């Protein structure tokens, strides 16, 4: 009998209940009138008189233990049920909220604006070969942009077609034109790399959005109107643009586009160096040689292209004056832009 009491003591101690039902099961098993402990009390009558004192004490201890356990099972299952039954999953957690990176916000806005004009999004690889980054885009063999000082070459096993980190997203134009029959109307966002000393105005990596429209009879006027629409959507309806003649190997004619200064609205300030204008992108009519390189007949098709830095647009839009802030991951800076 002493052994059976010890065993029951062990069982009772180890018993765990998840809910009120299991606590009740415990009561029925051990403490009810037909439970194991009552049965032992019944048997107690048959215990030899010289053992009665010792066994009686043990039995009483067992009963008290069981009652205490039942009490604790009941209170625990009650409190667990009340929390799981009433948890408010939407209550504020108290943890600080994240926000989108400003470059992501602006990237999305640029793609949205061109999306409204029917431009779809394409992407290309960051590790690019010489053909797609330079040759197909009409860069002459000795062009300085190919120089080791500007380009991060990563594999020159084939000197005629070395691999490098792309220096601009214009490479994606080539990749898409090679495999698509016009009309092509696309914007191509992505990260680009240049071997530059890091400063407030330059970084060894940054982001661009490239644009391309190739079809029959696409004109310079189409380009101008597209870029005016973009500028006014991005910087406000009173924004003016101006195009200055420039040179890029892959466009002819080429231009750089300025917008009226977003800070002083043309009156003259530090950002626009008192000129009233700030440059935001390069553009031009796709050079016929580029179309031919991609297997497109320049006598049938024409097109325009443009390329802009996302950092530059973001700096103008939000008045940020140091490029390095975008990659330092300081949440005091990043948290100011909101945007979920
Ligand atoms: N790829 C040029 C750069 O990285 C930007 C550019 C200029 C892109 C003119 C174009 C363009 O498509 O037509 O500086």
Pocket test for ligand 1, best of 176, 247, 282, 311 (most atoms within 8 A of CB): 282
Closest residue to atom 12 of ligand 1, CA basis: 306
User: Which atom of ligand 1 lies at the shortest distance from residue 246's CA?
Assistant: 9
Output the residue whose Cα is nearest ligand 1's atom 2.
Answer: 307
Which one of 306, 309, 312 would you pick to mutate in the ligand 1 pocket, going by the greatest count of ligand atoms within 8 A of its CB? 306
Could you tell me the distance, in angstroms and rounded to a whole number, from the CA of residue 140 to the centre of ligand 1? Answer: 16
Q: Which of 298, 279, 280 is nearest to 288 (CA)?
A: 298
pLDDT of residue 244: 98
Q: Which residues are near ligand 1 (CB < 6 Å)? A: 168, 170, 210, 248, 251, 282-284, 305-307
Return the number of other C-beta atoms located less than 10 Å from residue 177's C-beta: 24
Closest CA to 174 of 131, 142, 217, 140: 131
266: left (phi over 0), alpha (psi -120 to 50) or beta: left
Instruction: Express each pLDDT in 237-271 by its tens digit.
Output: 999 999 999 999 999 999 999 999 988 887 888 88
Lowest mean pLDDT among 40-49, 116-125, 148-157, 289-298: 148-157
Q: What is the pLDDT of residue 91?
A: 80
pLDDT for 109-144, tens place per residue?
999 999 999 999 999 999 999 999 999 999 998 888
Ligand 1 pocket mutation, candidates 110, 170, 310, criterion most atoms within 8 A of CB: 170
Q: What is the pLDDT of residue 85?
A: 60
How far apart, in whole angstroms, are the C-alpha atoms of residue 83 and residue 88?
9
Rounded to whole angstroms, the Cα distance separating 140 from 142 reads: 6
Question: How many angstroms separate the alpha carbon of residue 169 from the centre of ligand 1?
Answer: 8
Residue tagged 């007949």 (tokens)? 297
pLDDT at 62: 92
Q: Ligand 1: which atom is nearest the Cα of residue 286?
A: 13
Query: For residue 92, what pLDDT band results from cuts at 50, 70 and 90?
Result: confident
Nearest CA to ligand 1 atom 4: 168
Contacts of 125 (CB under 8 A, 6+ apart): 166
Task: Please report, rounded to a whole number, the percentage of residues in the chain having pLDDT higher than 70.
Answer: 97
| Whole-angstrom distance, CA of residue 335 vs CA of residue 333 | 6
How far apart CA 106 and CA 101 sit, in angstroms, is 9
Residue 86 has pLDDT above 90, yes or no: no
pLDDT digits (tens, 9 = 90+) for 129-184: 999 999 999 999 888 878 877 899 998 888 888 999 999 999 999 999 999 999 99
pLDDT of residue 159: 85
| pTM higher than 0.85 | no
Reference 111, options 4, 247, 207, 203; nearest CA is 207
If pLDDT is split at 50, 70 and 90, which confidence band does 57 have? Answer: very high
Output the CA 51–ligand 1 centroid distance in Å.
Answer: 102
């Amino acid at each position: 009998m002493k052994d059976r009491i010890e065993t029951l003591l062990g069982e009772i101690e180890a018993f765990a209940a998840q809910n009120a039902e299991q606590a009740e099961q415990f009561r029925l098993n051990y403490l009810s009138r037909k439970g194991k402990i009552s049965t032992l009390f019944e048997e107690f009558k048959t215990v030899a008189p010289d053992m009665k004192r010792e066994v009686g004490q043990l039995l009483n201890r067992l009963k008290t233990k069981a009652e205490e356990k039942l009490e604790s099972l009941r209170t625990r299952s009650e409190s667990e049920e009340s929390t799981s039954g009433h948890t408010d999953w939407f209550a504020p957690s108290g943890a600080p909220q994240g926000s989108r990176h400003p470059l992501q916000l602006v990237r999305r806005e640029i793609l949205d604006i061109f999306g409204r004009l029917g431009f779809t999004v394409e992407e290309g690889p960051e590790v690019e070969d010489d053909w797609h980054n330079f040759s197909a885009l009409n860069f002459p063999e000795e062009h300085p942009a190919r120089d080791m000082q500007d380009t991060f070459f990563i594999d020159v096993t084939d000197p005629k077609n070395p691999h490098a980190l792309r220096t601009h997203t214009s490479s994606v134009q080539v990749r898409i034109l090679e495999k698509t029959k016009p009309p092509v109307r696309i914007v191509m966002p992505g990260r680009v790399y240049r071997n530059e000393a890091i400063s407030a105005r330059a970084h060894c990596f940054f982001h661009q959005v490239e644009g391309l429209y190739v079809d029959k009879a696409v004109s310079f006027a189409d380009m101008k109107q597209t870029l005016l629409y973009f500028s006014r959507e991005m910087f406000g309806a009173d924004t003016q643009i101006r195009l200055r003649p420039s040179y890029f190997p892959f466009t002819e004619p080429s231009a750089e586009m300025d917008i009226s200064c977003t800070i002083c609205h043309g009156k003259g300030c530090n950002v626009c160096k008192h000129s009233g204008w700030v440059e935001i992108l390069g553009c031009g009519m796709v050079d016929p040689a580029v179309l031919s390189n991609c297997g497109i007949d320049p006598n049938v098709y024409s097109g325009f292209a443009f390329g802009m830095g996302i950092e530059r647009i973001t700096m103008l839009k939000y008045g940020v004056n140091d490029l390095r802030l975008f990659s330092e991951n300081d949440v005091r800076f990043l948290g100011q832009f909101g945007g979920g």
